[in-house]
Amino acid sequence: VVVDFSAPVLPPQNETVVAKSDVFVRDGQYASQSFGNNSYLVVKSDGVGYSRKTALQFDLTGLDIGSASTAILRLHIRNVNADPSRDITISRLSSSNWQESNLTWNTMPVVDQVGATVAITPSQIGSWLEVDVSELIQAGTVSLLLENNGPASGKSDVSFSSRESGNGPELIVTP
């Protein structure tokens, strides 16, 4: 056996992890309903009964996640309503013990760690949004929350393609 110590060290390879589950939830009279089978995911800050949040679940089991690991969340922007801009915050949820068929506004786990906030405008319809969420990933299953904490507006919503659409959320992870 010959070992060549002058051979280049290859950089870690990116892993694309598709969402295992994705769902949006709604407050008010819909707070006990799950919207996990739709082809879209909605985030909106509005009056009672009209606000929506989205939860995403990624299984990172088997990846060597450490302090130097990076992760880019990719979301396909399906539609953006008329408000000029809305700020979407991405956070990690305290638990991944949910399924898209049973997660509701009332059963949503609490936020464990707040991450990046990104502005989305109507000009981004049809494009892919990429956000660094490296600080939010950990070994095992990770759940992320997308929410609009801005002022309530009937025109503040944004919708993303869900996994059921074929353009679902992805994490590009470099272990």
Whole-prediction pTM: 0.94
User: Tens of pLDDT along 80-104?
Assistant: 999 999 999 999 999 999 999 999 9
User: Tens of pLDDT along 103-129?
Assistant: 999 999 999 999 999 999 999 999 999
Contacts of 47 (CB under 8 A, 6+ apart): 152, 154
Residue written as token pair 């989205």: 54
